[in-house]
Amino acid sequence: MQLRYAFRLYPEPGQRSALGRAFGCARVVFNDAVRARRDAHAAGLPYPKAAELSQTLITRAKQSPGRSWLGEVSSVVLQQSLRDVEAAYRAFFASLKGER
């Protein structure tokens, strides 16, 4: 038997802005990972590994002046967005093969 719970959150204004920053940063990293995979596909190269994407899109990006704001949020959120990209691609290709 599976149980389901529904919750409603009412964050304080400070929490609301922190959540907005975290969600925004996760979206940016997700979109950058998808773009990196598309660029690799267009160039005929193999897809970049998760470790490469993490190094490029999170670690190095935090050190660049244009993306230093990525350091304001937890790296767990950013790493999870890369895992979400991997899961989405796996599910997509599994559905093309009829495995899903």
Q: Is 74 left (phi over 0), alpha (psi -120 to 50) or beta?
A: beta
Residue at 91 is within a domain: yes
pLDDT digit string, tens, across residues 5-64 = 998 999 999 999 999 999 999 999 999 999 999 999 999 999 998 899 999 999 999 999
- Per-residue pLDDT band for 98 (boundaries 50, 70, 90) equals confident
> What is the phi-psi region of residue 49: left when phi exceeds 0, alpha when psi lies from -120 to 50, beta otherwise?
beta
Q: Which tens digits make up the pLDDT trace of 1-14?
A: 788 899 899 999 99
Give me the domain span that covers residue 82.
29-39+47-97
Residue 15 lies in a domain: no
Query: Is position 21 within any domain?
Result: no
Judged on CB neighbours under 10 Å (0-12, 13-18, 19+), 85 is buried
* CB contact at 8 A, 50 and 83: yes
Q: Which residues contact 6 (CB under 8 A, 6 or more apart)?
A: none
Number of domains within the chain: 1
| H or E stretch covering 14 | helix 13-42
Q: Closest by alpha carbon to 59, among 38, 79, 41, 84?
A: 79
Residue 7: inside a domain: no
Would you say residue 12 lies in a domain?
A: no
